[in-house]
Structure 1
Amino acid sequence: MQVFRRTKKKKLDELFDSFYNEVDYSANNLQFLVDLVAHFRPEKIDKENPVSIRSLLDYLEEHAVRRYAMSVYIRNVFQNRKFTAILTDSGIIRDAYFIREVRERLASKILPEQPEPDTLQFLLNQVFYKQSDFEWIQEISLIEINELVVLLDLQTIYGNEESASNSAVTEIVNGISLLIQRISGRALEQDVLIMVPEYEDIQSPFESFEKKLDILLSKIIHQRNFSVSATDTDFQDLVQLLQGCHQIINTAFDNSAKFGISIRVNQSLLRIRQQLFRIEVLLPLLATDSEEDKRDNSIYLAIKLIKFNCRKNNIRRLMLDSTQTIAYEVTQHTAKTGEHYITESKKEYMHMLLTAMGGGLIVGFLCLFKVILGKAEVSDFGHAFLYSMNYAFGFILIYLLGFTLATKQPAMTAAAIVKSIESGLSSSVNDVDRHRSFAILFSHLFRSQFIAFVGNVLVAFPVALFLIWSLQGLAGFQIVDQHKSEVLMTDLNPIGSWAILHSAIAGVFLFLSGIISGSISNKIKHKKIYNRIKEHPVLKISLGKENAKRFAEWIEEKWAGVASNFWFGVFLGSTASIGIFLGLNLDIRHITFAAGNMALGLFGGDFEAGWYPILMAILGIGIIGFVNFIVSFALSLWLALRSRDIPISELKYLFHSVWLYFKYKPVSFFLPLKDS
C-alpha cells in the first residue's frame, strides 16, 4: 500500500509546481490527487458556506500546458479501474447476523480492507479516506464541476463509439445484474416469504425484473451510445417493476405488526431494501437522450461512488437501520400495555390507587425478606441469587395478581405517549389541537404515576413496619440491629450517599425490563407460539383441547410480562454483588423499597434516628422516585421516538403546551378533574 507523507496544505501553484516537475503521470502516482483533495478539504463542514473549486478552474484556464498535463494524468489514473464491487457491496449489509455485521464494520474502521491497486475502490480509499469527505464534495456547485469536466476534456462514463464496449457502463450493467440475482435468491427464502403471504400466488416481480433486465441489456449492448432513451418501453417497464419490488419489501415490514419479526429476518429484508435502493440509483444511468445527460449522469455516478465508499463502514447508520423496525415492534407492545396505566376517569384513578396499594403490600414483604436473606452465610454470588429470586418472584406475583409497581409504568407509558404523537402527526388535526390533546394526555399520565407512587409508598411503609414489629418486637427474632438501621437510613440520604446514582441505575433496569417485555411479545408473535401450543398433539391429548387453548392464550398474554418481571428482579438483585466483584459502588434504589427500608431502619434504631436523618430519608424517597421515573421515561421516550422516526424537536412544542396547561390547571396533574 502506498504511504503518503503528512504535510501542511500546499498552495495551488506550489501543488502544481511539484506535480509538473515530477513528470510522472502514471496511474500508480496518486500523490498529486491526494494533495489536491487535501487542499480543498475543509477543517469543518459548513453547508451554508460550501467548498468552491473556482480557484482551481481559474488556475487551469490560465495555464494551458499544466491543464493538459492534468487531463492526461486524470485519464491515466482512472482508466480501466474496476468498480463493480463498490456498486454491489459498499454500504450494503453483508450478513443476516447483526452482531457479526457490526463486528466486521468496526474491524474495517480500525484496519480498513485494501482492495487490489488496479480497482477504483483502492483509489477512493487513498484519496477520499475520511468518512466525511462525501459531505463536503456533494455541496460543491454542479456548475463548477461541469466546468472542470469541460476544461479537462474528460470522457463520460459512456465512452465514445470506438470504446463503448469498454466504457464504465459495463460496470453498471454488471452491478445491476449481480444485485438483482442476489435479491431474487434472498427474496425466495422461507423466512422472507412468510412475511408476505399476500404475494404467495403472484409471480415474483423480482424474477420479472431479472427477465426484463436481460432484454434491456441485450438492447443496450447494440446501441452506439451504450444506453437507451428514457422513453424506451422496456426501460419504463423496468422502472415499474422496481416499484413493485419495493412494494413487496414495504409490505413485509408492515406485516411485522401482524406476524412479528426477528433480527435475522429484519436484516434480510433490510439487505434486499438496500440493494433495491442501489438499483434505483443505477438504473437511470442506462437512459440518455443528449450529451448533457451523459455528462450529468457521469458526475452523478462519480459523487455516488464516493458516497458509497465513504459510508461502507458506517456503524451508526447500520444501528439505526437495523434496529428501527425491531424497536417499533417492541415499543408497539409496550404502548398497548402502557395505555392501561394512563387513567382518565375517577373510577380508573381509584382503581390505580388500589392496585398500587396491592403492589406496596407485596413490596413490604420483599423488603423484610431481603434483610433476612442478607444474613445468610453464603458467597456474594449466593447473595446475588437469593436477592434476585426474592425480587423476581415478588414482581411476578405483583404482575399476576394485577397489582401495580409504580416505576414499571414510565417504560410503558412513554411508548403510549409517542404512539399518540404519531397518530396526531399522521392525521389532519392542526398543531394547536394536537399539542392541546398531548398536554391533557400527559396530565393523565402524570397523575396516574403520582397516585401509583402514593399507593405503593403508603402501604409498603406500614406493612414493612408491622412485619418487623411482629418478628423482632413480639417474636424476639433479631433482624435489624443498630448498625443495619444506620445503614438503611444512610442509604436513603440523597446527600450523604450514592442514592441518586443508584436510583438512576434502577431507572435503566426499568427501561430494559420494558424492552425485554416487548421483545418477547414480538418473538411470541413471530414464532407463532400460540398456534404451536394450541395445536401441539401431545398437549391436546394430555391437557385436552380447551385447556391447551387456554394455556396458549395465557402464554400469549402473560409470558412477556412474567419474563420481564423476572429479569427486572435479577437485575436489581445482582447489581450490588457485581459492584463488589468489579470494585465499584453499584447498587439500586427503588422508591417503594426505599419506603419499606425506611420503616425497617426506624424500627431497628428504636425510632431514635433524630429529625435530620428522618427528613433526609423522606426527601431521599421523593428524589429516588423522581429519578426512577425520569430515567426510565426518558430512555423509553427516546427509543419510541426513534422507532417511529419522529424528530426530537417536536417535543419542544409538545412540552411547552404541557407547561401552559399546568399553569392553567395544575390540580389536574394530581387529581382526576374534568378536562377542558
Structure 2
Amino acid sequence: MFDSLKRLIKKWRASRDGGHQLDALLAIADKTAPYAERCEWLIELAHWIRRGRAVRPGTADGAESAASHPNAAHTRIRYLLHVLDRNPAWKVNVAGILRALLRETDGLSLLCDAGMPVHSGFFGAVFERVEASLIPPAPNRRDLAAIVTLMFNSERDAEWIDTLPTDLLVRIHALFDYAAHEDDLRNSTPFSLDLLAALHNLTCQISSTGLSQTVRSRLGGAAPRDSASDGVSNGVSNDRLDAANDVRVAMEKQPFYRLTRAMLAVEAAHHTYAAGGPQEPLLREVNYLRLLLDECRSATGNVFAHLYRNGVSVDIVFQVERMRMRIERAEQLLNAWLAHDDPHAGARLTAELVRANHASQSVAHLASSNFSLLARKVVEYSADTGEHYIARDRAEYLKMMRMAAGGGLVTVVTVCVKFAISGAHLHAMFEGLLAGINYAASFLLMHFLHFSLATKQPAMTAPTLARELDGVGTPAGVDSFVSSVTALMRTQAAAVLGNVLLVFPLSLGVDLLWHALFHTDLISPDKALATLRSFSLVGPTPFYAALTGVLLWSSSLLAGWADNWFILHRVADALAYNRRLRMTLGAAGADRLARFCRANVAGVAGNVTLGLMLGLVPAILTAFAFKFEVRHVTLSAGSIGVALGVLGESALKLPALWWAVAGVASMAILNVAVSFALAFYMAVKSRDLRRNAVRSLRGAIWQRVLQHPLELVWPAKVGRGR
C-alpha cells in the first residue's frame, strides 16, 4: 500500500495541470490507510494549496485561476471544495482523514507548545532551534505540531489562513462534519475539550514560572512583615505564626498564585453547564480568569521594569518573555473556546499557531525578542554618559573645546610612545599588546581628567538621541530631537577640531624640541615618509578608518555590558558591606569606594577594552585574516605632525603630505559616521521604531539644516531653535 501511494504521488507531481493534479490526489485519499500515509497525503494537499500551479480557466467547470486571484490559496480551496461536492466518495475519505488527524494526534503539543521554547535557558533554546532546522519532524509522529510544521512551513501561510472568507470557513467546518456517523467515536474527545485542557496546561506553567524565585523576587509590591522587629514583644511562637501568615497573605495577593484555582473553577463551572446547569456561573468564572491573566501580564511588565533598573540577565529575560507568550496564548485559547461557533475564531487561532510555530524555528527571532531589553539597558548607560558630550549652548560648546584640547594634549604623549614601541621592532603580537596598553593608559588618563577623545563620543551620544525618540509622537518631541541632532553634529565638529588643532602643532613642536636637545628625531626620515604614505586617501585608509569605527562602537557596547553586570550582581552593595573593607576603610570609606566603582566601572571597562582592541586587533587580523592598521583621526594627526617635523619644510612640496591630510579628513568622517551609525542602529532596535517614523524625522532634520545652517558650526542663542 505504501509503495503504491508513493507511485501515485510521484505521478501526481508530474502532472502539469492543476485540476488534474487535484483529481489524482483526491483519488488516492483513503481514511483507512496507515497514519503515516494519511499524514503524507495531507502534506501533499497543503503543498497543492500553497504552491501548486494555477488552476487553468475552463478546467473542471471553469474554476477560477488561482494565480490571477489576490488570494490564490483561497481560490484553490474553493476549487477543492467544489470538486469534493461533485465526488461524494472522495469527500467521505477526505473528511475522515481530517477528523482522524484531530482525533489521533496530540493536540496539546500544538496548542500549548507551538512557538514556546521547551528549554528553560536561552542557549538551550538556541540549540533546540538549530537542531529542529537540521532535522525536520517525521510524518509518522502522532504530534499535531509536527504535522502543522510539515504542512505550513512558511509564515505567509498564516496570512491566507487569517483572511479566509466566511463562506469558505463555513464550508470547511461542514467538511469536518461530513459523514461523521461512519467513524468510530467511542474514544474520541471533542476539540473544545482539547482547548480547555491546553488552557489548564498553560495556566499551570504560568503559575509555576510566576511563583519561582527568579520572578517572585522581582515582582515588587508589599513584602512580608519583618518578624524580627516584633519578636521581643510577641514571643517566638507568635512571631513565627505572624510571619507565616504574612507570607501566605502576600502569596495570595499575587495573580500567579490564584490563576490555577481560577482555572479549576472554570472547569467545574463548564462541567456543570454541560450537564444542563446555568451559564451565568461559567461566564463569571471566565471573566475572573481573564482578569487574572491581565494582572499576570502587568506583573511581567513589573519584572521587566525591575530588570531594566537593576541589570539584565539573558536567561531571566528569556524565562519572563516565555511566560508572557504563554499568557497571550492562554487568552487566545480562551477566546477560541468561548467563540467555538464563530468560524473566524478558529481561523484566527490556527493562523496564530502557524505563525508561532514558524517563529519557534527561527534563531534570529529568538535573539531579537530576548536581546531587546539587554540592548535597551546597554544603550541607556551610553545615553546617560553621552548626555555629557552634547553641547547644547555656547557655554557647553566652549567647554567641549577645552575638553577636546585636553584630549589632544594627552594624545601627543600617546603618539610619541607609539613611535617608541614600533621603533623597538618587537614581535607583532607583543608590539600590539604594548601599543594597546599605551592606548588604554592614555584613554584612562583622559577619563579621570575629564578630557574628551572626539571619535569616542558618537558611540555614546547616539543612544542619547534614541532616548529622545520616545517623545517624537508630538511636535515638541520632534523639535527636541532635531535640536539634539544639530547639537550633536556641531559638538562632533568641535571635538575633532579641538583634538586635531592641538595634537598636530604640539607633536610637531615635540619633535623639533627633541631634535634641538638631542640632535636627532623621534623617527627616521624613511619612517616619516612611510607614515605619510600609509595615511594616503588613495589606498586602504578609508577601509581601515571604517573598521576603526567598528572598534570604537564595540568599546561602548562592552562599557554598557560592564555597567549592566555591575548592577545585576549588586557589586556596589557587596563592596559597601564587605567586612574586610569596613574594617580597613571604615563604613564611610567602603561606601565611598562602592560609589566610585559604580561611577567609573563602565568608563574604565570601555577605555581599557578600546585601547587593547586598537593595539591587538590589528595584529590578530594581520596574522590570521588580512592586513589591518588602526586609522584614528587624532592619533594619525599627531603622527603627521611628528613626520612633518622630521622632514622639514621640504615636506610641504610632497604630494604624500597632502594625500595624508586628505586621508586624515576621511578618518574623521568615517570614525565618527561608522561608530555613530552602529550605536544609533542598536538604540533604534532597542525601541522597536518603525521605518516610517525614522524617515519622517530625516525630513525635519534637513529642514532645520536648511533654515539654520550656521547652527552646525556655532550654537544659537538660548531660546532659539528649540
Once the 2 structures are TM-superposed, how far is the Cα of residue 373 of structure 1 from its aligned partner? 0.9
State whether residues 211 and 257 of structure 2, in contact with CA within 8 Å, keep that contact through their aligned partners in structure 1: no
Structure with max Cα Rg: 2
Match of 2:479 in 1: 436
Tell me, what secondary structure is at the counterpart of 2:650?
A: coil
- Aligned mates of 2:642, 2:179 — CA distance in 1: 84
Structure 2 residue ranges without an equivalent (≥5): 54-65, 225-249
Q: Does 1:185 align with 2:198?
A: no
State whether residues 164 and 347 of structure 2, in contact with CA within 8 Å, keep that contact through their aligned partners in structure 1: no
Moved more, 509-518 or 14-23: 14-23
State whether residues 28 and 77 of structure 1, in contact with CA within 8 Å, keep that contact through their aligned partners in structure 2: no
Q: Does 1:153 align with 2:153?
A: no
Q: Does 1:99 align with 2:106?
A: no
Once the 2 structures are TM-superposed, how far is the Cα of residue 185 of structure 1 from its aligned partner? 2.7
Once the 2 structures are TM-superposed, how far is the Cα of residue 163 of structure 1 from its aligned partner? 6.4
1:578 is matched by which residue type in structure 2?
Answer: I
Tell me, what secondary structure is at the counterpart of 2:105?
A: coil
2:644 is matched by which residue type in structure 1?
Answer: L
Q: 1:316 to 1:226 in 2, by over 3 A?
A: farther
Match of 2:268 in 1: 218
Once the 2 structures are TM-superposed, how far is the Cα of residue 390 of structure 1 from its aligned partner? 0.9
Match of 2:386 in 1: 338
Q: Does 1:172 align with 2:172?
A: no
- Aligned mates of 1:226, 1:124 — CA distance in 2: 36
State whether residues 400 and 494 of structure 2, in contact with CA within 8 Å, keep that contact through their aligned partners in structure 1: yes
2:36 is matched by which residue type in structure 1?
Answer: N
Once the 2 structures are TM-superposed, how far is the Cα of residue 189 of structure 1 from its aligned partner? 3.0
Once the 2 structures are TM-superposed, how far is the Cα of residue 358 of structure 1 from its aligned partner? 0.5
Match of 2:233 in 1: none
Q: Does 1:245 align with 2:296?
A: yes
Match of 2:588 in 1: 546
Q: 1:15 to 1:402 in 2, by over 3 A?
A: same
Match of 1:616 in 2: 659
Moved more, 51-60 or 4-13: 4-13
2:24 to 15, 18, 21: 18
Q: 1:227 to 1:656 in 2, by over 3 A?
A: farther
- Aligned mates of 1:666, 1:406 — CA distance in 2: 22
1:326-368 deviations in whole A, cap 9, x for unaligned?
A: 1111111111111111112211111100000000111111112
2:71 to 50, 62, 68: 50
State whether residues 485 and 605 of structure 1, in contact with CA within 8 Å, keep that contact through their aligned partners in structure 2: yes
- Aligned mates of 1:20, 1:481 — CA distance in 2: 86
1:664 to 707, 717, 720: 707
- Aligned mates of 1:71, 1:583 — CA distance in 2: 61
State whether residues 504 and 638 of structure 2, in contact with CA within 8 Å, keep that contact through their aligned partners in structure 1: yes
Match of 2:356 in 1: 308
2:566 is matched by which residue type in structure 1?
Answer: I
- Aligned mates of 1:342, 1:555 — CA distance in 2: 24
Q: CA RMSD in A?
A: 3.1
1:572 to 595, 614, 631: 614
Q: Does 1:79 align with 2:129?
A: no
1:220 is matched by which residue type in structure 2?
Answer: H
- Aligned mates of 2:635, 2:522 — CA distance in 1: 17
Match of 1:198 in 2: 221
Q: Does 1:354 align with 2:402?
A: yes
State whether residues 40 and 139 of structure 2, in contact with CA within 8 Å, keep that contact through their aligned partners in structure 1: no
Match of 1:654 in 2: 697
Q: 1:228 to 1:320 in 2, by over 3 A?
A: farther
Once the 2 structures are TM-superposed, how far is the Cα of residue 556 of structure 1 from its aligned partner? 0.8
State whether residues 11 and 39 of structure 1, in contact with CA within 8 Å, keep that contact through their aligned partners in structure 2: no
State whether residues 71 and 153 of structure 1, in contact with CA within 8 Å, keep that contact through their aligned partners in structure 2: yes
Moved more, 356-365 or 39-48: 39-48
State whether residues 15 and 32 of structure 1, in contact with CA within 8 Å, keep that contact through their aligned partners in structure 2: no
1:18 is matched by which residue type in structure 2?
Answer: A
1:359-384 deviations in whole A, cap 9, x for unaligned?
A: 01111111121121113343222122
Once the 2 structures are TM-superposed, how far is the Cα of residue 453 of structure 1 from its aligned partner? 0.5
1:126 to 150, 169, 176: 150
- Aligned mates of 1:259, 1:275 — CA distance in 2: 25
- Aligned mates of 1:568, 1:604 — CA distance in 2: 30
- Aligned mates of 1:273, 1:559 — CA distance in 2: 33
Tell me, what secondary structure is at the counterpart of 1:587?
A: coil
Match of 1:329 in 2: 377
Match of 2:227 in 1: none
2:334 to 283, 291, 294: 283
Q: 1:423 to 1:298 in 2, by over 3 A?
A: closer
Moved more, 525-534 or 406-415: 525-534
- Aligned mates of 2:350, 2:710 — CA distance in 1: 62
TM-score normalised by the chain length of structure 2: 0.85
1:51-86 deviations in whole A, cap 9, x for unaligned?
A: 323322333333344333322332334432112122
- Aligned mates of 2:697, 2:68 — CA distance in 1: 29
Once the 2 structures are TM-superposed, how far is the Cα of residue 540 of structure 1 from its aligned partner? 1.0
Once the 2 structures are TM-superposed, how far is the Cα of residue 91 of structure 1 from its aligned partner? 1.7
1:214 is matched by which residue type in structure 2?
Answer: L
Q: 1:34 to 1:11 in 2, by over 3 A?
A: farther
Match of 1:373 in 2: 421
Q: Does 1:640 align with 2:683?
A: yes
Q: 1:114 to 1:184 in 2, by over 3 A?
A: farther
Match of 1:385 in 2: 433
- Aligned mates of 2:153, 2:262 — CA distance in 1: 38
Moved more, 117-126 or 160-169: 160-169
2:256 is matched by which residue type in structure 1?
Answer: F
State whether residues 522 and 642 of structure 2, in contact with CA within 8 Å, keep that contact through their aligned partners in structure 1: no
1:274 is matched by which residue type in structure 2?
Answer: M
- Aligned mates of 2:188, 2:517 — CA distance in 1: 98
State whether residues 397 and 715 of structure 2, in contact with CA within 8 Å, keep that contact through their aligned partners in structure 1: yes
Q: 1:46 to 1:631 in 2, by over 3 A?
A: farther
- Aligned mates of 1:364, 1:324 — CA distance in 2: 40
Match of 2:575 in 1: 533
Q: 1:85 to 1:67 in 2, by over 3 A?
A: closer
Structure with greater proportional helix content: 2
1:279-332 deviations in whole A, cap 9, x for unaligned?
A: 1221223325xx733x44444443333333322212222112101111111111
- Aligned mates of 2:554, 2:41 — CA distance in 1: 53
Question: What percent of counterpart residues are identical?
Answer: 23
State whether residues 91 and 312 of structure 1, in contact with CA within 8 Å, keep that contact through their aligned partners in structure 2: yes
Match of 1:34 in 2: 43
State whether residues 365 and 467 of structure 1, in contact with CA within 8 Å, keep that contact through their aligned partners in structure 2: no
Q: For 1:455-470, what aligned pairs fall within 5 Å after superposition? A: 455-470=498-513
Once the 2 structures are TM-superposed, how far is the Cα of residue 227 of structure 1 from its aligned partner? 12
1:470 is matched by which residue type in structure 2?
Answer: L
Q: 1:143 to 1:509 in 2, by over 3 A?
A: farther
- Aligned mates of 2:277, 2:675 — CA distance in 1: 57
Q: 1:238 to 1:549 in 2, by over 3 A?
A: same
2:263 is matched by which residue type in structure 1?
Answer: L
2:680 is matched by which residue type in structure 1?
Answer: L
